[in-house]
């Protein structure tokens, strides 16, 4: 069969579901390419250009928006954040699987321009566990905890826009499920039909006449 | 999440692709229920009722056709063969995953009445290998070999009606891919959306007020 394009896997979910931890564990053997976002905010201590973010000026960012070089972007508190398209496409064309770890709004925008992506929603094992994780993450005030929790609760409704939902009860289990999803997606007839039928045509003459 | 129905996995493919071997290896730990077909032909030496087939009289078979108790059936050289529906549905309702190992015509009929099934097409690694397997299977005459080979070659076109295609190069690899497909299908949002949203609703009151 012909070498095929890489898969674009979009890993997303509500705040507190643990998508960052899952992505890190998923790629511990560097089997995938994890997309690096672009931003106009200043680097924090220890953050490196091209590793943590592509740090751009606002003019550079706006020029890239004009050039349609973002799969998605958003303005948050006066700074821009976005997913550069050219690098993602370069990797996919090389046959390398790409992971985007991204929030729900971003994921839905990516889906508009890249519907053949694999959209995976990471779920907390229960709302109780989500509550604990939000509390543990930051020293939240009761008000800000309630805002984050309600927001995460609402975000779970977006699961219906995704292809897969994976409960992050134990990170290793969640990662194994995502690995299975990747194997399965590579067997999907929608993706590989043409190469199956091509390779069949290429072989028939040889087989009838040798 | 609510306990869910079992998956109906339909494993099919051209003659010589090795679907029988794959199914046997897939179920070596008895994790699944492999459907037993019904037939009106006489038992061969060593064949047991309810193990190899449900052996029925023609009248019994025709009555079951009338009662719509077959997912699919066909008449081959004067004998009927079919997949009994009630037992399959009983297992699925208990949450047990069911495997149907079935020919392509049968699989397409099952798809009409059970589109939510998982349809997996087993492919030979190459037409050359398919040729070898057909030759090795029986002492074929050149004419009957050619008929079987051409038929298998044509059948590969039906891959486009299936959800997944798995190349049976090494049985263990093919089985691992099918196991991944099963894991992935159980994470598909189409299948589990309702139970995710139900369990979320059930938890919210407790979480806000404890």
Q: Is residue A174 annotated as involved in ligand binding?
A: no
CA distance A11 to A165: 10
Predicted ipTM of the assembly = 0.88
Q: Residue A129 corresponds to which tokens in the numbers above?
A: 């566990």
CB A84 within 8 A of CB A68: no
Inter-chain CB proximity A188 and B149 less than 8 Å: no
Q: Is residue A14 annotated as involved in ligand binding?
A: yes
| pLDDT < 70 stretches in chain B | 1-3, 137-140, 201-210
Strands A38-39 and A54-55: parallel
Q: Is residue A68 annotated as involved in ligand binding?
A: no
Phi, psi of A203 (to 5 degrees): -95, -20
> Residues of B annotated in the binding site for ATP, as ranges?
13-20
pLDDT tens for B164-192 read 999 999 999 999 999 999 999 999 999 98
Q: Report pLDDT for A177.
A: 98
Q: Give B-chain residues touching A162 at CB under 8 angstroms.
A: 189
Q: Report pLDDT for B139.
A: 56
Inter-chain CB proximity B207 and A128 less than 8 Å: yes
Q: Is residue A20 annotated as involved in ligand binding?
A: yes
CA distance B106 to B113: 11
The mean pLDDT value for A60-84 works out to 94
| 117-176 in chain B: CB under 8 A from chain A | 120-121, 123, 126-128, 131, 149, 153, 156-157, 159-160, 162-166, 176
pLDDT tens for A159-193 read 999 999 999 999 999 999 999 999 999 999 999 98
SS3 for chain A, per residue?
Answer: CCCCCCCEEEEECCCCCCHHHHHHHHCCCCCCEECCCEECCCCCCCCCECCCEEECCHHHHHHHHHCCCEEEEEEECCEEEEEEHHHHHHHHHCCCCEEEECCHHHHHHHHHHCCCCEEEEEECCCHHHHHHHHHHHCCCCHHHHHHHHHHHHHHHHHHHHCCEEEECCCHHHHHHHHHHHHHHHCCEHHHHHHHHHHHHHHHHHHHHHC
Average pLDDT score over chain A:
88
Q: Residue B73 corresponds to which tokens in the numbers above?
A: 């059936």
Q: Report pLDDT for B6.
A: 95
Residue A138: count other Cβ atoms within 10 Å of its Cβ.
Answer: 10
Map out the domains of chain B with their CATH numbers.
8-35+96-208 (3.40.50.300)
Q: Report pLDDT for B136.
A: 77
Inter-chain CB proximity B159 and A184 less than 8 Å: no
pLDDT tens for A3-29 read 578 999 999 998 888 898 999 999 999
Q: Give B-chain residues touching A131 at CB under 8 angstroms.
A: 207
pLDDT over 70 percentage in chain A: 92
Q: Report pLDDT for B210.
A: 40
């Amino acid at each position: 069969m012909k070498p095929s394009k890489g898969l674009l896997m979009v890993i997303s979910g509500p705040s507190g579901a643990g998508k960052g931890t899952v992505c890190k564990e998923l790629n511990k053997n560097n089997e995938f390419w994890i997309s690096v976002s672009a931003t106009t905010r200043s680097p924090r201590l220890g953050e490196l250009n091209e590793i943590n973010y592509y740090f751009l000026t606002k003019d550079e960012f706006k020029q890239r928006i004009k050039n349609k070089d973002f799969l998605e972007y958003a303005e948050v508190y006066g700074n821009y954040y976005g997913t550069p398209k050219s690098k993602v496409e370069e990797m996919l064309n090389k046959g390398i699987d790409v992971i985007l770890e991204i929030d729900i709004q971003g994921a839905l925008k990516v889906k508009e321009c890249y519907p053949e992506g694999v959209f995976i929603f990471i779920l907390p094992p229960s709302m109780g566990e989500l509550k604990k994780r939000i509390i543990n993450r930051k020293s939240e005030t009761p008000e800000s905890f309630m805002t984050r929790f309600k927001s995460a609760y609402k975000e779970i409704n977006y699961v219906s826009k995704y292809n897969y939902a994976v409960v992050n009860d134990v990170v290793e289990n969640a990662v194994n499920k995502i690995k299975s999803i990747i194997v399965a997606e590579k067997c999907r007839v929608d993706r590989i039909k043409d190469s199956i039928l091509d390779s069949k045509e290429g072989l028939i003459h040889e087989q009838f006449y040798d």
